[in-house]
Structure 1
Amino acid sequence: MASSSPTKPSPTKVSKSATCLCGAVAVTVTGVDKGAVLCHCSNCQRSSGSSFAHNYRFLDADLTFDKGEDAVTRYEDGDTTNGNVLARHFCKVCGSNVFLQPSTPPRMWILHTGGMQDKTQPARELFTHNKHPWIGDVTPVRAKV
């Protein structure tokens, strides 16, 4: 009698959308949900103008423009830890970071969560050796904008 190995179910694909600050760019990514992360790498710190980037990752994914493909510009970031190029895409009109795509397999798209309506809590932190030691130790103040 031949034994059969159980087959894994196909990973569930999800879709999430993001826009830039001015609304000129809107994208939707559909792929295998890899969840949200905080990235503390020095490039994400410089690119975001903050202490980290809050990113949502998708594997085996496809990105579609809902609007504004012509309003997006791309920066090839080759100064990465592993030497692989990371294409950073942002709006030419307002300068908002919108999405990233690594140049090497697997096929992955990464949305900046600031442009997403669904602000998913991150499950992991990356490049924590660059994490500022004071993060989490600041007294919250209710800002009036």
Structure 2
Amino acid sequence: MRSNLEGGCHCGAVRLCIVGGLGENAKAGICHCKDCQTFAGSLFAYAGKVDRAALQVVQGQPKAYKQPTSTNLSGKQVTRHFCGDCGTPLWVESDATPTIYAVKLALFGNAFEPGIEIFWKNAHEWEKPLAPSEMVFDTLPAMPPTGS
């Protein structure tokens, strides 16, 4: 049995647990899409696919921002969860992926090497990929669901 992963926001008001850790098929990844750049306030977002049933809020009450469907890539409802005290992004849920969350892995200590990069077409010319070259995609590749 895999160990649980525990982490939380910068101020400590919100604590999360990924029950059983990351599933065998889970990907730690980097997203360069314009939405992730804006919401991360950075060049990219660093996140992992996590089964929705595995993510638990063990302390605090995250806030949620429902992004207008007209402003996101999928055209589906996207909700971004964050700490209302310090503003740390926590996870993203999308109607386009009803069984998984994109959880911000830095909350758990940055211990995950990126295995994939998506929306590389939005990266700056001076950036260099962090994932293996065969796992760098200009857009969003088709991916299987996570497995526990």
For the superposition of Structure 1 and Structure 2, which TM-score range results when normalised by the shorter chain?
A: 0.7 to 0.9
Q: Is the 8 A contact 2:74 2:96 kept in 1?
A: no
Return the letter of the residue paired with 1:104.
Answer: A
Q: Is the 8 A contact 1:20 1:26 kept in 2?
A: yes
2:89 corresponds in structure 1 to 97
Residue segments in structure 1 that go unaligned for 5+ positions in a row: 1-11, 138-145
Return the letter of the residue paired with 2:46.
Answer: H
- Compare the two structures and name the one with the higher helix fraction: 2
Residue segments in structure 2 that go unaligned for 5+ positions in a row: 130-148
Structure 1 pair 28/53, CA: closer, same or farther in 2 (3 Å)?
A: same
2:9 corresponds in structure 1 to 20
TM-score (norm 2): 0.73
The Cα RMSD (Å) is 2.2
Instruction: Select the residue among 5, 16, 23 that pairs with 1:32.
Output: 23
Alpha-carbon offset, residue 125 of structure 1:
0.5
1:76 has 2:70 as partner: no
Q: Is the 8 A contact 1:37 1:123 kept in 2?
A: yes
SS in 2 for 1:32: coil
The farther-off stretch of 36-45 and 81-90 is 81-90
TM-score (norm 1): 0.75
Return the letter of the residue paired with 1:18.
Answer: G
Instruction: Select the residue among 39, 43, 51 that pairs with 1:51.
Output: 43
Deviations 1:7-29 (A, max 9, x none): xxxxx877433300001001112
**Rounded Cα–Cα distance in structure 2 between residues aligned with 1:125 and 1:23:** 29
- Compare the two structures and name the one with the higher strand fraction: 1
The residue correspondences of 1:85-124 to structure 2 (distance < 5 A) are 85-124=77-116
Structure 1 pair 29/128, CA: closer, same or farther in 2 (3 Å)?
A: same
Higher-Rg structure is 1
The farther-off stretch of 37-46 and 21-30 is 21-30
**Rounded Cα–Cα distance in structure 2 between residues aligned with 1:99 and 1:132:** 25
Q: Is the 8 A contact 2:14 2:59 kept in 1?
A: yes
Structure 1 pair 13/84, CA: closer, same or farther in 2 (3 Å)?
A: farther
